[in-house]
Structure 1
Amino acid sequence: MKIISTKIPDVLVIEPKVFGDHRGFFMESYNEQKFTSMTGIKPYFVQDNHSKSVKNVLRGLHYQIKQPQGKLVRVINGEVFDVVVDIRMSSPTFGQWVKARLNAENKRQVWVPTGFAHGFLVLSEVAELIYKTTDYYSPEHERCIRWDDPDLNISWPLRTLPQISEKDENGLLFKEAEVFE
């Protein structure tokens, strides 16, 4: 396993060691001992989620203000442009974002700590994501920041307007959003 730093030190890209040949491949998608020893983080995962979306679907930017979720995100089919935004007011990287291309070929994962908003844009015809979370989904605490917020100015690789849900359409601007201390 290789840990790749990002410009936001708390957000990590994890590149697993993949053993492959003409028959296919094998990899450990998660090993608590290795993850903890290499990152200093010991998450306690309570829920696994599986999401499938078609090309040009944009989901996010989502987070939970109470019961915040750390997430370990990976793509098992297709490709996404993944974005993580620091929404911790006390952080020196507050309001900054990082991106990663996650796909079934590179098998990379992104560690999204609590206190961050997360979203992704599907680049392939179809994409499936699996992600582990450190707390349970809590719809009453879920919040959404607009994907096209002018202050965040995320450079999504779009050629046309994305397909978004009604919930995401009604997301708040970053300056109006409920954030973490």
Structure 2
Amino acid sequence: MTAIGQTLAINATALLAVIILLWAYSVKIRDVSFIDAFWAFGMVLLAWASWTQSDAPGALSHLLLGLTTLWGLRLSLHLWTRWRAHGEDPRYEKIMRSVMEKKGWSWSKTSLQSVFLTQAPLLFITCLPAQLGIAYSDGANTALGPLAFAGAIIAIIGILFETIGDAQLNAFRADPANKGKVL
């Protein structure tokens, strides 16, 4: 197995272990909707796992790790705070109820198969660019070129755009005059 293949296999195994632990927690609290907050944090974990397995992470590895961490921690904190403030997401309630009625599954089996085990491979695949970018730039030339700088600027603008958008949506929802309206 190549070094990159080994990194991806370790990452996938670790992600599956974390997903199973989160599922067990969801069974305890009977709520799966915190998985949204983990989604972004999971990308941070996968990026860090890739980086820590690198023999000689270069400047590009550091840049990708930093941008993934900044984006993931910001979004994860935002979604975690929203979940703690508003409780279970009605979308997940509906999904869970529908699957349980159609398939006759228990709550724990439904949450495992319909939420957690579907999230794990999607999260892993979505995070492949960060994992591969970090792994492939291991030991690479330390100088960042114009494309890396342009990409970093675009990523930071995107993170700022998301941050401002989330703040605007929170303010909109906090105003009782906006109840039932769409921003």
TM-score, scaled to structure 2: 0.25
Q: Work out which structure has the larger RCO, using CA pairs closer than 8 Å and 6 or more positions apart in sequence.
A: 2
Q: Which has the higher helix share?
A: 2
Q: Which has the higher strand share?
A: 1
Give the number of the structure whose alpha-carbon radius of gyration is greater.
2
